[in-house]
Structure 1
Amino acid sequence: MALRGTILNALVYPAFLLVGVLGALILLLTYVVPSFVPIFAGMGVPLPWITVGVLALGQFLQQWGWAVLLGLVALGVFAAQRLKDPAARLALDRR
């Protein structure tokens, strides 16, 4: 039981970092990047493919971010329920 507590404590910091980085990325893609669309449109030059991709991702997250969040929550609930089953845990540990 002490080993489990040590492992959980070791995973707390990376989990907070992951949540913070993903939050900052979502904030940038949904609010900051779309504010540049009028600037890019006014330049009248073709945009690089990576810029078009980032703009499309930002637009997708603005429109469907709630569905992505709902899907991630559902996936997390499913995974948590599945890991309560000893047979599923054993199958995962055998990998």
Structure 2
Amino acid sequence: MKFGGTSVGTPDAMRQAVSIVKNEKAQWKNVVVITSALSGVTDTLLKMASCETISNPKALDMFALELIQKHDEIANALIHEPVLFQQTIQAINEV
């Protein structure tokens, strides 16, 4: 199964994707799930890689914070187990 960026770009969209995977998992022994980057992430990465941004540390920091916040938002909305949530946030911040 493959989900594009819009399909995993918001907490509600991610919940829908999880629901689809669960339904398929009930019918199949093995399920492979592939996702694109969250909606907007590829565009932000391209902005970060642009010549203008590379020479502007403040802009790089702003875009990096934007990416972290986007992933934190998804994790905060979907992960309700405290230890798993903290592990996820730590992994996001390490990247």
* TM-score range normalised by the length of the shorter chain: under 0.3
TM-score normalised by structure 2 residue count: 0.27
Larger radius of gyration: 1
User: Taking CA–CA contacts closer than 8 Å with sequence separation of 6 or more, which of the two structures ends up with the larger relative contact order?
Assistant: 2
TM-score normalised by structure 1 residue count: 0.27
**Larger % of helix: which?**
1
**Larger % of strand: which?**
2
